[in-house]
């Protein structure tokens, strides 16, 4: 029996999950879990990349103890963030996407390449943390002088395992520098911005073996976690999905990118999938709820939080995607500033957060149907957020869709599926 290892790292935690096929079904076992989170240092939000690598290796060791015959492994993470390299040496720090270092850079990028032109080329929604803005910030700060490579986080982690540097397609598309039509880095944009051309090699597709680590193949899955999550959804027919975690990624598979004016106006993205385009939108997600819990009632079980939120009668809502919620020092204060009425208790904040998310989902679904010219009856929700029956009910009520909530590790399942399909010859 062949075993495979998916290493799925999110903004708040990482997990090692071993998978295998048994009687035609995919079986899984979580063998290791570790915490993650950005740290504030010298006024910036940073990732402890070295610590992530140590946790990755520790989890692999644990997995090998339980399953000595693991055939291959792959790593997925969130998008847009990267490690700069000078040969085999890291040029730290590794900045977190929630850091504010691009704020003054964005207007300068748009002076060189207006956003409408960026969108026509790449089809990527505006987000202040897109890789294009981060790299331009590095350029202005002199950090690209002497840099030989930049590696998106999952590719950097796999490089440190197998010694091979690659740029994987799905994750590269998240950054706003890949041409939506060609599926390769857009060298016209890169030259216009003055970014070093040698940093942008040919992209590699999911399902590629790039090296070996202790006798195991190191394989490229869809290294952007949402790309893998979509591969892990047992979907019937064509339907929208929400990959619900720290972020809620709401979208649908399309044959080709949609880079028209309406898609730009509504700030939709076209990201790489495994043989298809993912037309999707970032919504703030469970970040709102998780940060409120840490601030207002750390240690209180989410079951109790949800029960109290359901009993609350606070009906005011906020724009869950407002920039004010991106990285506030106090999430409670951020809600207070956005609300006209003051919540009377903790439960009011949570009810407001859940209802606001559901309304954001409704708006996004309406835009999706308008922009694609299609009507959808069903909405799949996967990931940690799918465990919230309260949010699922609010979402069904707000959107009028049949909500199919699958509280599964969809990202790890997609990661594993790609590895298995490669070894079984179906890629």
Catalytic residues: 225
**Residue 342 carries which DSSP code?**
P
- Give the phi and the psi of residue 101 in degrees, each rounded to 5: -70, -15
Instruction: Please compute, for residue 213, the number of CA atoms within 13 A of its CA located in the half-sphere on the CB side.
Output: 23
Q: What is the CA radius of gyration of the chain?
A: 21
The tokens describing 273, both together, are 């999938």
The tokens describing 120, both together, are 């026509």
- Give the phi and the psi of residue 416 in degrees, each rounded to 5: -65, -40
Q: Which of 16, 43, 8, 58 is nearest to 232 (CA)?
A: 8
CB atoms within 10 A of CB 378: 15
What's the rounded Cα separation, in Å, for the pair 378 and 370?
Answer: 16
Give the helix ranges, DSSP H, for 32-130: 49-66, 106-112, 115-122
Q: How distant, in Å, are the alpha carbons of 74, 113, 221, 249, 274 from that of 244?
A: 21, 32, 20, 7, 20
What's the rounded Cα separation, in Å, for the pair 314 and 342?
Answer: 9
The residue assigned the tokens 């892990």 is 232
Q: Which of 273, 231, 220 is nearest to 72 (CA)?
A: 220
What's the rounded Cα separation, in Å, for the pair 108 and 91?
Answer: 24
H/E segment holding residue 159: helix 153-162
- State the pairing for strand pair 82-86/89-90: antiparallel
Strand partners, 16: 7, 32
What's the rounded Cα separation, in Å, for the pair 223 and 216?
Answer: 18
Q: Taking the C-alpha atoms of 367, 369, 372 and 377 in order, what is their torsion angle to the nearest 10 degrees?
A: 150
What's the rounded Cα separation, in Å, for the pair 118 and 114?
Answer: 6
Q: Are 387 and 407 in contact (CB under 8 A)?
A: yes
Q: Is cis: bond before 68, omega within 30 of 0?
A: no
H/E segment holding residue 44: strand 44-47
């Amino acid at each position: 029996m062949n075993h495979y290892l998916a290493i799925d790292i999110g903004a708040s935690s990482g997990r090692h999950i071993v998978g295998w096929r048994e009687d035609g079904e995919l079986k899984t076992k979580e063998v290791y879990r570790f915490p993650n989170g950005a740290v504030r240092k010298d006024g910036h939000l940073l990732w402890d990349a070295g610590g992530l690598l140590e946790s990755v290796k520790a989890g692999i060791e644990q997995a090998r103890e339980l399953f000595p015959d693991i055939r291959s492994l792959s790593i997925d993470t969130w998008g847009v963030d990267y490690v700069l390299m000078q040969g085999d040496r890291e040029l730290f720090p590794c900045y977190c996407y929630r850091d504010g270092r691009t704020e003054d850079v964005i207007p300068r990028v748009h002076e060189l390449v207006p956003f409408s032109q960026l969108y026509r080329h790449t089809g990527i929604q505006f987000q202040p943390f897109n890789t294009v803005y981060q790299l331009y910030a590095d350029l202005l700060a002199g950090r690209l002088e002497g840099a030989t490579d930049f590696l998106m986080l999952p590719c950097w982690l796999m490089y440190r395992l197998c010694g091979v540097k690659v740029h994987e397609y799905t994750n590269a598309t998240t950054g706003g520098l890949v041409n939506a039509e060609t599926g390769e880095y857009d060298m016209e944009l890169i030259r216009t911005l003055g970014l070093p051309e040698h940093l942008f090699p040919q992209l590699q597709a999911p399902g590629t073996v790039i090296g070996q680590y202790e006798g195991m193949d190191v394989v490229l899955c869809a290294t952007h976690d949402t790309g893998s999550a979509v591969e892990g959804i047992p979907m019937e027919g064509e339907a929208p999905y929400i990959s619900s975690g720290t972020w809620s990624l709401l979208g649908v598979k399309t044959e080709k990118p949609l880079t028209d004016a309406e898609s730009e106006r509504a700030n939709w993205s076209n990201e790489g999938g495994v043989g298809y385009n993912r037309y999707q939108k970032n919504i703030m997600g469970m970040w709102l709820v998780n940060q409120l819990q840490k601030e207002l009632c750390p240690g209180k079980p989410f079951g109790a939080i949800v029960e109290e939120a359901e009993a609350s009668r606070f009906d005011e809502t906020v724009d869950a995607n407002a920039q004010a919620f991106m990285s506030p020092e106090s999430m409670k204060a951020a809600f207070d500033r956005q609300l006209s009425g003051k919540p009377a208790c903790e439960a009011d904040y949570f009810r407001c957060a859940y209802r606001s998310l559901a309304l954001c989902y409704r708006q996004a679904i309406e835009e999706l149907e308008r922009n694609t010219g299609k009507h959808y009856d069903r909405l799949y929700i996967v990931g940690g957020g799918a465990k919230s029956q309260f949010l699922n009910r609010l979402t069904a009520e707000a959107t009028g869709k049949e909500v199919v909530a699958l509280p599964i590790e969809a990202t790890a399942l997609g990661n594993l599926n790609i590895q298995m399909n490669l070894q079984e010859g179906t890629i």
